Amino acid sequence: MIQEKAFPVSWDQFHRDARALAWRLAGAGPFQAMVCITRGGLVPAAIVCRELEVRLIDTVCVSSYHDYKNQGDLEVLKPVSEAVIGIGGGGGKGVLLIDDLVDTGKTASIVREMLPEAHFATVYAKPKGRPLVDTFVTEVSQDTWIYFPWDLGLSFQPPISGGIG
């Protein structure tokens, strides 16, 4: 049995990583609009749109994780608005897609079909989904579970070795 690796991310670290993403994206624009993939993309989108001064912000709502850690069938709950799809003559040219993480690439594939010419950026990337992303900050192994700050409370973390002391 392969032990899952844990990667807890604090609010401070996530803010720094999202700003680092904005720095990387500054040369890739300008972007006329941003589409954030909910729910995970909401926090990095807020930081990146501030840093890049993007004012037209939309969401695409895709449900995939149904019981915290198990990814199920994907469902588009809300597509990208027609106003954003029409930017740059359609296809998403001039649109920035933002998410917190690309994992298996299933969600990314669905959103890429909607806006194939958009620039896709995530804060974190795993190897299976990495080819679908244009810009990211940190790559983590496929067997790493990222614990985002909005999912955490303060609690004891056992040592990596499994022992205490």
Asked if residue 42 lies in contact with residue 90, where contact means CB atoms within 8 angstroms, the answer is no
Amino acid identity, residue 15? H
Considering 99, 134, 143, 151, which one is annotated as catalytic? 99
Residue with tokens 């804060």: 123
Considering 12, 73, 100, 134, which one is annotated as catalytic? 100
- The question of whether 103 is a catalytic residue gets the answer yes
Residue with tokens 């890739």: 28
The neighbouring-strand residues paired with 63 are: 75
CA neighbor of 120 nearest in space, from 106, 140, 136, 137: 136
- The question of whether 73 is a catalytic residue gets the answer no
Structure tokens at 58: 């939309």
Considering 17, 58, 73, 103, which one is annotated as catalytic? 103
The neighbouring-strand residues paired with 122 are: 99, 136
Give the span between the Cα atoms of 161 and 125, in whole angstroms. Answer: 25
Amino acid identity, residue 53? E
Structure tokens at 17: 């990583």
Chain center to CA of 162: 30
Catalytic residues: 99-100, 103
